[in-house]
Amino acid sequence: MIHFDNVTKVYANQNRPALDHVSVDVDKGEFVFLVGPSGSGKSTFLRLVLKEERPNSGAIHVAGKDLGRLSNFKVPHLRRRIGCVFQDFRLLPNKNVYENVAFALEVIGKPRRFIRKVVPEVIELVGLEGKAHRMPDELSGGEQQRVAMARAFVNRPMILLADEPTGNIDPATSIGIMKVLDRINRTGTTVVMATHDAAIVDSMRKRVVELEDGKIVRDQSRGVYGQAY
Amino acid sequence: MRANFIFSEVWIGLRRNLTMTIAVVITVAVGMGMLGIGLMINTQVGMMKDFWYDKVELSVFLCGKNTTMPSCKGKSITTPQTNALEAEIKGMPGVQQVLYEDQAQAYKNFQQSYQANKALVEATRVEDMPTSFRVKLTDPNNYQPTVQALQGKPGVAQVTNQKDLVNNLFGLLDQLRYGAVGLAVVLVLAAALLIGNTVRLSAFNRRRETGIMRLVGASNLYIQLPFVMEGVISGLIGGVFAAIVLIVAKVFLFEEISRYFAFGSQLAWNDVAWVITLTMVIGVVICVLASFVTLRRYLRV
Among A2-16, A139-153, B129-143, B178-192, which stretch is predicted with the lowest mean pLDDT?
B129-143
| pLDDT for the residue A155 | 93
> What 3-state class would DSSP assign to A9?
strand
pTM of the model: 0.71
A112-125 helix and A97-106 helix, angle to the nearest 10 degrees: 130
From the CA of B209, how many Å to the nearest CA of chain A? 7
Interface test with B, best of A46, A107, A112 (most B CBs within 10 A): A107
CB A192 within 8 A of CB A159: yes
Which region, left, alpha or beta, applies to residue A214 given φ > 0 means left and ψ of -120 to 50 means alpha?
left
Percent of chain A topping pLDDT 90: 79
Q: Out of A73, A104, A112, name the one closest to residue B216 (CB).
A: A104
Cβ of A108 and B217 within 8 Å? yes
All residues at 6 or more sequence positions from A35 whose CB lies less than 8 Å from its CB, including other chains:
A42, A194, A195, A196, A201, A208, A209, A210, A211, A225, A226
Cα–Cα distance between A197 and A184 in angstroms, integer? Answer: 20
CB B218 within 8 A of CB B255: no
Q: Is the pLDDT of residue B69 over 90?
A: no
> What 3-state class would DSSP assign to A16?
coil
Cα–Cα distance between A201 and A178 in angstroms, integer? Answer: 10
From the CA of B18, how many Å to the nearest CA of chain A? 20
pLDDT-derived band of residue B133, with 50, 70 and 90 as boundaries? Answer: confident
Percent of chain A topping pLDDT 70: 99
Q: Is the pLDDT of residue A225 over 90?
A: no
All residues of chain B having their beta carbon less than 8 Å from the beta carbon of residue A104 are 212, 216
Mean pLDDT of A151-180: 93
Q: What is the overall mean pLDDT for chain B? A: 82
From the CA of A134, how many Å to the nearest CA of chain B? 19
pLDDT-derived band of residue A227, with 50, 70 and 90 as boundaries? Answer: low
How do residues B14-47 score in pLDDT, each as one tens digit? 887 788 888 889 988 988 888 888 888 888 877 7
All residues of chain B having their beta carbon less than 8 Å from the beta carbon of residue A151 are 212, 216
All residues of chain B having their beta carbon less than 8 Å from the beta carbon of residue A72 are 220, 301
Percent of chain B topping pLDDT 90: 7
Cα–Cα distance between B226 and B297 in angstroms, integer? Answer: 16
Give kind and range of the element (H or E) at residue A128: none
SS3 string, chain B, reads CHHHHHHHHHHHHHHHCHHHHHHHHHHHHHHHHHHHHHHHHHHHHHHHHHHHHCCCCEEEEECCCCCCCHHHCCCCCCHHHHHHHHHHHHHCCCEEEEEEECHHHHHHHHHHHCCCCHHHHHHCCHHHCCCEEEEEECCCCCCHHHHHHHCCCCCEEEEEEHHHHHHHHHHHHHHHHHHHHHHHHHHHHHHHHHHHHHHHHHHHHCHHHHHHHHHCCCCHHHHHHHHHHHHHHHHHHHHHHHHHHHHHHHHHHHHHHHHHHCCCCCCCHHHHHHHHHHHHHHHHHHHHHHHHHHHHHHCCC
Q: Out of B1, B219, B223, name the one closest to residue A106 (CB).
A: B1
From the CA of A196, how many Å to the nearest CA of chain B? 23
The full set of domains in chain B, from first to last, is 2-52+167-298 (no CATH), 57-139 (3.30.70.3040)
Q: Where are the alpha helices (DSSP H) in A136-206?
A: 141-153, 171-186, 198-204
The dihedral through the CA atoms of A200, A205, A206, A209 has a sign that is positive
Phi, psi of A136 (to 5 degrees): -55, -40
How do residues B226-267 score in pLDDT, each as one tens digit? 888 888 888 899 999 999 999 998 888 888 777 776 555 677
Q: Is the pLDDT of residue A49 over 60?
A: yes
User: How far separated are the first and last CA of chain A, in Å rounded?
Assistant: 30
CB-based contact (8 Å) between A25 and chain B? no
All residues of chain B having their beta carbon less than 8 Å from the beta carbon of residue A79 are 214-217
CB-side neighbour CA atoms (13 Å) of A122 = 28
> What 3-state class would DSSP assign to A84?
strand
The closest alpha carbon to A190, from A88, A75, A81, A102, belongs to: A81
> What 3-state class would DSSP assign to A215?
strand
Q: What is the overall mean pLDDT for chain A? A: 92
Interface test with A, best of B15, B215, B301 (most A CBs within 10 A): B215
CB B299 within 8 A of CB B223: yes
CB-based contact (8 Å) between A90 and chain B? yes
Count of CB atoms within 10 A of residue B248's CB?
11
| pLDDT for the residue A72 | 86
Mean pLDDT of A104-122: 92
Pairing of strands B132-137, B95-101: antiparallel
* B-contacting residues in A 109-138 (Cβ below 8 Å): 109, 111-112
Q: Out of A79, A92, A151, name the one closest to residue B209 (CB).
A: A92
CB-based contact (8 Å) between A147 and chain B? no
Cα–Cα distance between B238 and B188 in angstroms, integer? Answer: 11
Among A167-171, B205-209, B256-260, which stretch is predicted with the lowest mean pLDDT?
B256-260
Mean pLDDT of B261-276: 77
CA max distance for chain A = 52
Cβ of A76 and B5 within 8 Å? no
Choose between B132 and A148: higher pLDDT.
A148
Cα–Cα distance between B68 and B75 in angstroms, integer? Answer: 9
3-state helix, strand, coil in chain A (%, to 5): 35, 25, 40
Choose between B6 and A86: higher pLDDT.
A86
Q: Out of B1, B216, B223, name the one closest to residue A80 (CB).
A: B216
Q: What is the distance of C-alpha A79 from the center of its chain? A: 12
| pLDDT for the residue A144 | 96
